[in-house]
Amino acid sequence: MLKDEDFENIIKNLKSIPRPRMTHNQTILCYMQGTEPEPEVPVEELLPCPFLDNEGLCKVYERRPLMCRLMASVYPCSTRGAELPPFLFKISTIALQLVENIDKGGLYGNLFDLLVFLRDYKKGKAEEIPNYLLSNLDVDELPILPEEKDVKSWVGHLYRTPIDSEKTFRDILNELREKFEANYSSLDFLKDIF
């Protein structure tokens, strides 16, 4: 559970944490339509993650978000922003896109912006979604170039992975997408959280 001092540290560091201008799927749509996505706004200096304690250990490790679980930085988180090897970056992006496809009623953005918004919403201090938090959308196309045979192979293997005796990962993924589409609308997830 995050404490008030954790939120103070997060808010203090928000300017040094990149704020995405588009979701993964919005970016893919741009490319599919033959347009360039909006360039991201660079931050002046990437600071260490606000979840790190004084010894450089993660305070939320047991409950770390998916984004953190997908990270395998070539540099320690305590020294600078995460940097992933190219293949891991690519499959992490695809994994986040699959989550965006399922979570159609959810929000997309900088994790720390999301946490501050959810805290303020819970306390009744936020009634509207800030414009820097984006709505998820569903796009089935994956960002794989024809020459990226290793990524295609990884996705094919993932989709064919048996989850139980009758269903593959792809079957479960499609069931989840259908379930969320039928039962969720924007911000319905807040009822489940609060």
pLDDT in tens, 54-77: 888 888 888 888 888 887 777 776
pLDDT of 158 above 90: yes
Average pLDDT score, the chain = 84
Distances (CA, A) of 175 to 2, 16, 62, 95, 101: 33, 38, 28, 17, 12
Helices H / strands E in the chain, number of each: 8, 2
Flag whether the pTM goes above 0.85.
no
Tokens representing 29 are 């749509």
Distances (CA, A) of 57 to 26, 79, 114: 34, 12, 22
Report DSSP state, residue 85.
Answer: -
45: Cα separation from own chain's centroid: 21
What is the torsional sign of CA 154, 160, 162, 168? positive
Question: What are the structural domain ranges in the chain?
Answer: 4-193
Name the one residue in this structure whose structure tokens are 């395998």: 72
